[in-house]
Amino acid sequence: MKEIRLSTTPTPEAVSQLALGDIVYLDGLMYTAREGVYMRALEEKANIPIELPSESAANFHCSPAATIREDGSFAMGAVTATASFRFAKWLPEWMARSGAKLIVGKGGMSSKDYKDYFVPNGAVYLSTVGYGTGALLGRGVERVEAVHWNRELGLAQAMWVIRCNRMGPFIVASDLDGTCLFERENAKIADNLARVYRGTRPATLKRFGETDDRTDEVIG
């Protein structure tokens, strides 16, 4: 597999050269932002505390295993991502505001997300590996530069700004055509599922509310 070192403020050319399944190691500043940061920045219109994207174009869907010591210094141990699909609600606006070129997280987004707002913004998705290689990624944290909004959001939802030094591995999970690595894999696996399911029986009692069909009798 191809290994690439990539800046967290990558050039358009560097992003365009990433191919699905490439292994990436990151250098530079990366910030964590997930639902807490998105809601505070986009819904409550708080001022984003760092200069984006000039300082960093890499948004990590992450809460680190970290603490602030009594003297104000930081202890950061393991670092892994959280599942990104839950943030699709905020990402188009966030991407426009932040200029993020790299969304780093767990499990990727849909190819529709990629085509709708990743590709027009020249951005791609990098997935963490595992999950999760928290100790390996923790080794890639050269230092914690700052933490913002920890009082408002708690440590897990705060905006951590970390300096990465060959932090990885990450896997390229989307490209500038909007192709999705996970959907490509799921399509291959789906071919086999009919065989695996043979001889099984659907549940006698169905679950109401998982479709919008309000006339569903549920039984049978």
Chain residues binding another protein by CB under 8 A are 1, 21, 23, 36, 62-67, 75-83, 85, 106-108, 127, 129-139, 153-157, 169, 171, 182, 185-186, 188-189, 192-193, 196-197, 199-205
Please state the closest distance from residue 143 (CB atom) to another protein, in A: 15
Alpha-carbon torsion (121, 23, 143, 63), positive or negative: positive
Give the strand pairing for 159-172 and 124-128. Answer: antiparallel
Question: Cβ atoms within 10 A of the Cβ of 194, count?
Answer: 8
Alpha-carbon torsion (34, 40, 44, 46), positive or negative: negative
Distance CA 34, CA 47 (A): 16
Q: Strand pairing partners for 81?
A: 62
| Nearer residue to another protein within complex by CB, 11 or 216 | 216
Phi-psi region at 43: left, alpha or beta (left = phi > 0; alpha = psi -120 to 50): alpha
| Nearer residue to another protein within complex by CB, 13 or 205 | 205
Please state the closest distance from residue 131 (CB atom) to another protein, in A: 5
| Nearer residue to another protein within complex by CB, 12 or 85 | 85
| Nearer residue to another protein within complex by CB, 25 or 99 | 25
Please state the closest distance from residue 188 (CB atom) to another protein, in A: 5
| Nearer residue to another protein within complex by CB, 9 or 162 | 162
Q: With beta carbons less than 8 A apart as the criterion, state whether 69 and 143 touch.
A: no
Q: Which residue has the tokens 């990885």?
A: 168
